[in-house]
């Protein structure tokens, strides 16, 4: 069995703030990922972004030069569609989708009718990130929830790192609806829930994967929830200086300045704070 870094047999990698920021690749990320793939290390990409399909995400990665395909990608849109199928029935009414065309397509493929207006009496609202959402979309979701519809969210990320800076994420849009309705989603399917991590680990027979991400509250906490080691990479939202603020909920095994560190043996300065003297 081929392993890397500290004996890990697979890598589960976040995307925004780890592999790219907006339209720009993160320095060293592409070369590091390809080097691991060439060694025979399975690399899975786990993203809370629900605005793109797995195929779209894979196309974006390959455009940056990453040697991968859609089978190595899982999105929170796929995760929330799976939850919808488990918790709701198509015969009970339409689904109000507050999100992207890709999320709508996944829900329709699961056999549900979809709508964009509360007047259609949807049984549940499914909210996922879409940079083109507007006030009317959030208002229709609010109206439906006030009239008794259920509410599922793809993820609760408050922010998204982009090349220009940090922008509001799906969690910020969820909070806008929560302020209007006085309710919170009954479930968020993406990280830090362990589902996507475990799905990808099982898909590629990883027994001891390393989860790498730029957020302590989603990536590292999600790794902990899945029973895997987590590494915080300091190229996105959080840095080592943020560890004390999140100490009670999550603590990374490693803190890395960038992904290239994974091609070498571990150094003491890269251990998480809880492992340091």
Pairing status of strand 10-13 against strand 43-47: parallel
Helices (DSSP H) in 18-75: which residue ranges?
29-38, 54-64
CA dist 256 and 271 (Å) reads 8
Q: 108 by DSSP, 3-state: which?
A: helix
Identify which of 233, 208, 207 has the alpha carbon closest to the alpha carbon of residue 220. 233
CA-to-CA separations, 98 to 5, 65, 112, 127, in angstroms, rounded: 41, 32, 15, 5
Name the residues annotated as catalytic: 14, 16
Residue 141 · residue 117 · CB < 8 Å: no
DSSP state of 72: G
Q: If you count them, how many residues does the chain have? A: 277
Residue 22 · residue 231 · CB < 8 Å: no
């Amino acid at each position: 069995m081929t392993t890397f870094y500290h004996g890990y047999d697979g890598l589960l990698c976040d995307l925004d703030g780890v592999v790219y920021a907006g339209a720009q690749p993160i320095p060293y990320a592409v070369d590091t990922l390809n080097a691991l793939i060439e060694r025979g290390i399975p690399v899975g990409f786990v993203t809370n972004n629900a605005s793109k399909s797995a195929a779209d995400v894979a196309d974006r990665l390959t455009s940056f030069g990453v040697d991968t395909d859609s089978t190595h990608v899982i999105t929170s849109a796929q995760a929330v569609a799976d939850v919808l199928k488990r918790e709701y029935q198509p015969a009970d009414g339409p689904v109000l989708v507050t999100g992207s065309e890709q999320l709508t397509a996944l829900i329709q493929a699961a056999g549900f009718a979809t709508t964009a207006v509360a007047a259609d009496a949807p049984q549940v609202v499914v909210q996922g990130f879409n940079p083109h959402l507007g006030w009317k979309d959030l208002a229709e979701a609010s109206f439906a929830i006030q009239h008794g519809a259920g509410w599922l969210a793809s993820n609760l990320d408050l922010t998204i790192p982009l090349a220009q800076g940090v922008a509001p994420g799906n969690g910020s849009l969820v909070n806008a609806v929560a302020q209007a309705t006085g309710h919170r989603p009954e479930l968020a399917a993406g990280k830090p829930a362990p589902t996507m991590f475990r799905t990808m680990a099982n898909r590629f027979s990883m027994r001891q994967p390393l989860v790498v991400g730029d957020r302590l509250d989603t990536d590292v906490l999600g790794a902990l929830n899945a029973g895997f080691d987590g590494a915080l990479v300091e190229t996105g939202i959080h840095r080592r200086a943020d560890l004390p603020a999140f100490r009670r909920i999550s603590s990374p095994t490693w803190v890395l300045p960038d992904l290239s560190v994974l091609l070498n043996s571990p150094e003491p300065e890269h251990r998480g704070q809880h492992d340091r003297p």
